[in-house]
Chain A
């Protein structure tokens, strides 16, 4: 078996794990276990949310060192699950190199169904509006906001706009639509529309992962993700607040 090729695949798995929203301890432990499975020595892994480095000693005694950067992180829970299974199989030595390559290629080349994501935006916006006490017209407006937000966020992501500015702009959009609908007497319960739709922007993953990182003892990563979560929550509030202030007198 070609060691360097195996290590290349292992690095790729680590990068994908980071990209699709795994906790830091999971990335470190997965890499370590896979390398142990192949019998490498002196394995040291260090990871932070956008970067990891792996160093070890090959079977013939030469040192090996690699690092990967993963900038555009995007949660994809399906892939997280598949990668988790793949890591377990590799650590138990159940797969050959070719099989590993095929599975990784399959994960990487998989096409997303964007229509389902759009449906997700519309449905959860409408339903969380009902959750916060909205009636039929409010749900309708929320669904519309969900639809607009999906395309708005998609556009901003294509333009690679900073995530904080993106959140502020998106929350401004949702607040302005809700307030205008309220002012034109189309809806009566503006609160349910705004709270329901801002659920789409809440940084749930950042919060969960930061806590789980801190439990795992990775305070650097945990804190950086917690700051991310706090900043995003603040930007939601700022965006909504700005539009409330601007449209107050209209």
Chain B
């Protein structure tokens, strides 16, 4: 039940973000971006049994960014549009909060722990975007047979 509420609020929240990033005419992009964000969070929850937030974030973001690239090809639009919207539920917002809370309260062990986990999640997200974008770049080169001349 909690998961359902989270997915629903992630969808509407992402949809709100599309207005902030000024998608006002192409509502279909807003819907797809929000859907990808929700899907990302859903995947994150599905892999909860792994009990490893870094791996969960990585897999979820990999799904989001791969689908974003596919959508970009389908709609002939920049993939950034979908990735920017879709990454929001996975951004470690609560990590920033707890890091600061522990820092203020002077709990150095907990501070270090949450700081490192926030950093780790960010790196996992970054790695996922890196891998999927590179994969599509390579795919494009192979498909168009546009190899770099090693002369």
Cβ < 8 Å to A, chain B residues 2-27:
5-6, 9-10, 12-26
Query: Given the complex of chains A and B, what is the CA–CA distance between A132 and B130 in angstroms?
Result: 27
Q: Check A75–B130 contact: CB distance below 8 A.
A: no
Chain A residues positioned under 8 Å from B24 (CB to CB): 78, 112-113, 116
Is A136 positioned at the interface, with any CB of B under 8 Å from its CB? no
Q: How far is the CB of A20 from chain B (nearest CB, A)?
A: 8
Query: For residue A215, which residue of chain B has the nearest CB?
Result: B133
B48 touches A (CB below 8 Å): no
Q: Mark interface residues in B124-150 (1 if CB within 8 Å of A CB, else 0).
A: 011001100110010000000000000
Q: What's the nearest-Cβ distance from chain A to residue B151, in Å?
A: 19
Q: A77 with B29: in contact, given A132-B93, A215-B133 (CB under 8 Å)?
A: yes
CA of A119 to CA of B111, assembled, Å: 35
Check A128 against B93 for contact (C-beta < 8 Å): yes
Cβ contact of B80, chosen from A130, A208, A248, cutoff 8 A: A208
**Contacting pair B81 A77 (CB below 8 A):** yes
Encode contact with B along A110-138: 1 for CB under 8 Å, 0 otherwise: 00110011011111110110111000000
Q: Are A237 and B104 in contact (CB under 8 A)?
A: no
B104 touching A211, Cβ below 8 Å? no
Contact A77 B9, beta carbon cutoff 8 Å: no
Q: A240 and B97: CB pair below 8 A?
A: yes
| Nearest B residue to A192, CB-CB | B94
**Residue B87 interfacial (CB < 8 Å):** yes
Q: Quick check: B16 and A84 within 8 Å, CB to CB?
A: no
Q: Tell me whether A211 and B88 are in contact (CB under 8 A).
A: no
**From residue 193 to 245 of chain A, which have CB atoms closer than 8 A to chain B?**
194-196, 198-200, 202, 204-205, 207-209, 211-212, 214-215, 233, 236-237, 240-241, 244-245
The answer on a CB contact under 8 Å between A209 and B80 is yes
- A117, B20: Cβ atoms under 8 Å? yes
Which residue in chain A gives the minimum CB-CB distance to B136? A215
- Whether A159 sits at the interface, judged by CB under 8 Å, is no
Which A residue's beta carbon lies closest to that of B33? A77
Q: CA of A201 to CA of B150 in the docked complex: distance in angstroms?
A: 45
Bound together, the chains give a CA A112 to CA B23 distance in angstroms of: 10
Contact B89 A119 (CB under 8 A): no
A237–B99 CB distance below 8 A: yes
B15 A245 Cβ-Cβ under 8 A: no
Interface residues of B in 82-139 (CB under 8 A from A): 83-84, 87-89, 91, 93-94, 96-101, 103-104, 122, 125-126, 129-130, 133-134, 137
Q: Which residues of A contact B (CB under 8 A)?
A: 21-23, 26, 75-81, 84-85, 88, 112-113, 116-117, 119-125, 127-128, 130-132, 191, 194-196, 198-200, 202, 204-205, 207-209, 211-212, 214-215, 233, 236-237, 240-241, 244-245, 248
Nearest first, the 9 A-B pairs at minimum CB distance are A120-B19, A124-B16, A127-B13, A123-B16, A130-B9, A120-B20, A241-B100, A131-B9, A76-B22
Give 10 A-B contacts (CB < 8 Å), ordered by A residue.
A78-B24, A81-B26, A84-B76, A131-B6, A194-B97, A195-B94, A202-B91, A205-B21, A208-B129, A212-B80
**Which residues of B approach A to under 8 Å, CB–CB?**
5-6, 9-10, 12-26, 29, 76-78, 80-81, 83-84, 87-89, 91, 93-94, 96-101, 103-104, 122, 125-126, 129-130, 133-134, 137
